[in-house]
Amino acid sequence: MKMRRNNLRLRALLPIALLLAGTAQMSAQSAKTPQVLSSWRKQFHRRHRDLSELMDMASNAPPNLSAKALVTIAESPQLKNPEWKRNILLQAFDAAALAHDPMPRTFVLNGSFKALDIIGTRAQLEELISGQGVDRLSLQSEIVAEMLKIDSSAARDLYFRMPSPFLSRSACADAFVPDPSAYYAVLGEIAKAAFSSTEKQEQRDLQLVSATIRKMKSPSDLAPISRILLFPQWSREEVSLLAADFSSIMADMETDDRSFSSTLSNTDTEIGRVIDLLRSHQIATEPLLAAYRAYLTHGLTEERCADNIENDANVTKVVRRFNQQFASEGNPRLAPLDLTELKPAKIGGEPEMPRLFMDPASGNFLENIFDLAFQGLAKSADAEDQAARRDQVFEMFDNMQPESGEDDNSYVMRKGLAFTAVIEVMPPGERRERVLLHYADFLNSVADNSSDLAAWLGPLSLLLNDVGPDSVERKTLLEKLLSSPQPAVALYARLQHLQQDSQR
pLDDT in tens, 128-164: 888 899 999 999 999 999 999 999 999 999 999 999 9
pLDDT band at residue 396 under the 50/70/90 scheme: confident
Q: Is the dihedral of CA 286, 288, 292, 298 positive or negative?
A: positive
In a domain, residue 415? The reply is: yes
pLDDT band at residue 20 under the 50/70/90 scheme: very low
**DSSP codes joined into one string, 43-81:** HHHHH-HHHHHHHHHHTTS-HHHHHHHHHHHHT-TT---
In a domain, residue 219? The reply is: no
In a domain, residue 485? The reply is: yes
What does the pLDDT look like over 294-336, one tens digit per residue?
999 999 999 999 989 988 889 999 999 999 999 998 899 999 9
Judging by DSSP bridges, how do beta strands 304-305 and 176-178 pair with one another? unpaired
Domain count of the chain?
1
In a domain, residue 13? The reply is: no
CA distance to 385, 397, 422, 435, 454, per residue, from 391 (Å): 10, 10, 14, 10, 29
What does the pLDDT look like over 191-237, one tens digit per residue?
999 999 999 999 999 999 999 999 999 999 999 999 999 999 999 99
In a domain, residue 246? The reply is: no
In a domain, residue 145? The reply is: no
What range does the domain containing 461 cover? 360-502
Which helix (H) or strand (E) element contains residue 461?
Answer: helix 453-467
Pick from 314, 262, 268: nearest CA to 295? 268
Helix axes of 236-251 and 257-280: crossing angle, nearest 10 degrees: 150
Instruction: Give the pLDDT confidence score for residue 72 in this predicted structure.
Output: 95
In a domain, residue 365? The reply is: yes
Mean pLDDT is lowest, of 199-203, 209-213, 374-378, 485-489, for 374-378
Is 21 a residue whose pLDDT tops 50?
Answer: no
Burial class (CB in 10 A: 0-12, 13-18, 19+), 76: middle
CA distance to 143, 151, 284, per residue, from 29 (Å): 19, 13, 45
Burial class (CB in 10 A: 0-12, 13-18, 19+), 398: exposed
In a domain, residue 372? The reply is: yes
Can you tell me the mean pLDDT for 71-97? 95
